[in-house]
Chain A
């Protein structure tokens, strides 16, 4: 069994010294001057220690020094080291080069340590092909590709290597650090990685078999199917949930884009606002299907700006349906869903309670705020 390991040694540098991110050499330099201590290697070690029981069967392929070699050795492994780096300075390009080299090495799993910036680099270089899992070390973690902490990453990786988990598509998200430093949070969806998904089981006869998210999504697709009407345009927002639902309905879907369907056929692929408005001019009866951004709960205004206030108004302010797996809702820990379309009046109109479709004939009445 082979796993890849990529450590972004500068991930997290900016956080503890209050710089709200570590993107860019200048910020990293300032962080070091302010006394930041790199933590990414320690976090990778914490995860890798969970894999020690597999040591004899596990080959770790990694990059030199602080990009993984040190972490693997300190955790007790003898890694296979590829590539070359400058030891005192690594960049996003090193991460991308490492991903490309590791991609063809028949990996069971790629572990990486970093934050949102690193996840973006991993996705940009390798796409969604290899099963991947993030060990959180960065300042910004908006992406759903990370375990909640290094120990959990170890547990997940172990479970996956023992074939006890399934893979789910999880969002790679990032925010503009410059905007964030000015107090504005504007997360953007960059893509998806295939991530092990561990459904924890419970001992005891009363524990019903947990509904896996894949079967929940099929149930949601079935529920939507019986509600669909001929001649109505269905606008599907981006996201892994809508992607899988569309697949169940036999329709091609862009993960990141907005697509529109008529009578089960694609009528607009990866459509922008003007394309949607033009479509709605020709087909005035329409519905919007959106899913909340994982872990955040935004339904309009983040990652789906193509579905603009003008599009929402044209379709009709009540003609949208929210779909979500139960797990995604529970991850919000009771926080309401929210909208931020940029149109204050519309946002206020969209506030209220909505039945979120969570399965076939299953709904959760949930609050939406602005």
Chain B
């Protein structure tokens, strides 16, 4: 057998790179610098100005003035630059590797020109409290992008206010609650139905909104069980929150029957379209019978996804539910764009203001560059890429794709390495860690692991055949290592910034230190 590291692809790249990640042993920024160091020396106020303005701090009430100086790092500009460059070199991300391994996140390439648009001074100097007359341009972008989302989904109005997918699902759950409350039925209708392979936020957000949650497991063929749905539906059903295709990449072909059954019982149907990248321009929420839906602009619409935001969970509803949307909506009276607060049954605000303007602008630019045909092409290539990768991965020893055997998947697949684990003792997450030694990674699955030893890959439309071949070759190599030398895989990584860490404390909030202040307080408690 040829040595895989010696082989090269047709594009000239090595089959397996001799990757090694940067390792700077970088401290936390609070540990850097010295007292008295400064990044910027702010000039003294000119005497002329001082004499005219006086001391503006005197106008601030004592109760609002802080008693102590903020404990900020004292550090020079070049040290700050080096610090963050070091950190950036210690990560894997969409701009430095074939990022198909973060399934369900739609890690597509986001054109840099759209970042440039968002960085224009006309955007960076905007403030959401400006008078409407001074922000007509960005309001127009909001309004126009809403028209695009209405066309893509078939629904009648959208809000761009929710700051992420979960915020959008929570918005939808709150609208369902408000709708039933307006009909005097909320005390009776307190159950939301979802499926185990819908995004876990569907269950979680429904619960936060005060509902009981009934989860459906797949039937023998791997599709959401329609008999279980029929059993779950009752006069207590408030709604259905469901992802389609599910996180397995399987499209529920009976989705219209699902929505019909729920409607007959008086419930509403909300479509979590976090997995929309493979169905853009192919299917629509309205035709599938949904009353509400949401898209993640930070996934499907390339704004991009990562580092926890800024994001937008664009939330759409049918005409009947418009009165319940969060305020304000962006409206157009034929000559001016304005913020419309006139929604008497509104659920209120999900977050301040009316949406992350930079994300909306990037999404608008992305769609306008593609056009309607381009959007459909995105979906077609994403599906093609995914099924090509499916074929490649299933040819690797120990891999399988549970459920819906022999059927094609939409935009992602939740694979299982159960056979490989049984034969080698190597877990799926250990394979993913070993893959990091070759400059890529993959993600396993949400908890709970319903698919044993899971791994979720989503190639999107961004990657070429050669890149997918390269990724599959890395995974195949790691799987082969598991069979020939399992300890090599179990003790990985060797080329990464840090070795594996003990995740156990993540389950203990007492040990969490999400700020420097908390870290100091908790570690001092321990040493005391």
Contact = CB atoms under 8 A, between A and B. Distances in A.
A364 B227 contact: no
Given A326-B448, A364-B214, A201 B504 contact: yes
A353 B207 contact: no
A324 to B, nearest CB: 12
A12 to B, nearest CB: 18
A208 B200 contact: yes
A333 B218 CA distance: 10
B227 A363 contact: no
B447 A334 contact: no
Given A201-B503, A326-B448, A327-B448, A362 B443 contact: no
Interface string B188-203: 0000000010001001
B109 interface: no
B320 to A, nearest CB: 27
A182 interface: no
A334 B507 CA distance: 27
Interface in B404-463: 422, 425, 427, 429, 432-433, 443-450, 452
B217 interface: yes
Interface residues of B, number: 43
B16 to A, nearest CB: 22
B11 to A, nearest CB: 29
B168 interface: no
A254 B96 CA distance: 58
Given A210-B507, A352-B231, A363-B215, A330 B220 contact: no
A206 B104 contact: yes
Interface in B72-126: 102, 104-105
Contacts of A199: 507
A34 interface: no
A355 interface: yes
Contacts of A334: 217-218, 220
B378 interface: no
B449 A330 contact: yes
A209 interface: yes
The size bracket of the interface on A is 35 or more
A207 B447 contact: yes
B215 A211 contact: no
A208 B214 contact: no
Interface in B203-261: 203, 207, 211-218, 220, 225, 227-229, 231-232
B506 interface: yes
B427 A363 contact: no
A152 B422 CA distance: 10
A202 to B, nearest CB: 5
B415 to A, nearest CB: 15
A352 B230 CA distance: 11
B308 interface: yes
A278 to B, nearest CB: 34
A149 interface: yes
A352 B215 CA distance: 16
A367 B213 CA distance: 17
Contacts of B217: 329, 334, 364-366
A149 B228 CA distance: 34
Nearest to A46: B425
B55 interface: no
Given A206-B104, A207-B446, A362-B215, A200 B433 contact: no
Given A149-B422, A362-B203, A353 B449 contact: no
A37 interface: no
Contacts of A201: 429, 503-504, 506-507
B502 interface: yes
B425 A151 contact: yes
Nearest to A364: B215
A209 B507 contact: yes
Contacts of A355: 214, 232
A210 B425 CA distance: 22
Interface in A93-123: none
Contacts of B443: 202-204, 206-207
Contact of A203 (B425, B433, B507): B433
Contact of A363 (B213, B433, B447): B213
A212 interface: yes
Nearest to A202: B444
B423 to A, nearest CB: 10
A343 interface: no
Nearest to B427: A200
B445 A202 contact: yes
A326 B203 CA distance: 14
A151 B425 CA distance: 6
A164 interface: yes
A369 to B, nearest CB: 12
Candidate in B211, B220, B448, B452 with the most chain A CB atoms within 10 angstroms:
B448
A210 B217 CA distance: 19
Contacts of B450: 330
Contacts of B105: 206
Given A210-B447, A210-B507, A362-B207, A164 B502 contact: yes
Interface string B32-56: 0000000000000000000000000
Interface string B495-507: 0000000111011
B503 to A, nearest CB: 4
Nearest to A215: B507
B518 to A, nearest CB: 17
A205 interface: yes
A133 B214 CA distance: 35
A203 B503 contact: yes
A365 B214 contact: yes
Contact of B447 (A152, A208, A362, A365): A208
B507 A367 contact: no
Given A164-B502, A366-B228, A202 B218 contact: no
Of A204, A205, A354, A366, which is in contact with the most chain B CB atoms at under 10 Å from its CB?
A204
A365 B207 contact: no
A366 B43 CA distance: 70
Contacts of A327: 448
Nearest to A366: B217
A367 B503 contact: no
Interface in B479-511: 502-504, 506-507
A353 B504 contact: no
Contact of B446 (A151, A206, A354): A206
A4 B214 CA distance: 44
Interface string A275-286: 000000000000
A152 B429 CA distance: 15
Nearest to B191: A363
Interface string A330-370: 10011000000000000000001111001001111111000
Contacts of B218: 334
B228 A208 contact: no
Contacts of A362: 203, 207, 212-213, 215
Nearest to B210: A361
Nearest to B308: A205
A296 B15 CA distance: 46
28 contacts: A149-B422, A199-B507, A200-B449, A201-B429, A203-B429, A206-B104, A206-B105, A206-B443, A207-B447, A208-B200, A209-B447, A210-B447, A212-B507, A330-B448, A334-B218, A352-B231, A353-B232, A355-B232, A361-B207, A362-B207, A362-B212, A363-B214, A364-B214, A365-B215, A365-B217, A365-B225, A365-B231, A367-B225
Q: Nearest 7 CB-CB pairs, A to B?
A: A353-B231, A201-B503, A151-B425, A210-B447, A365-B228, A361-B212, A365-B232
Interface of B: 102, 104-105, 196, 200, 203, 207, 211-218, 220, 225, 227-229, 231-232, 308, 422, 425, 427, 429, 432-433, 443-450, 452, 502-504, 506-507
Given A329-B217, A365-B231, 9 more contacts: A201-B503, A201-B507, A202-B503, A212-B507, A327-B448, A330-B449, A333-B452, A364-B196, A364-B217
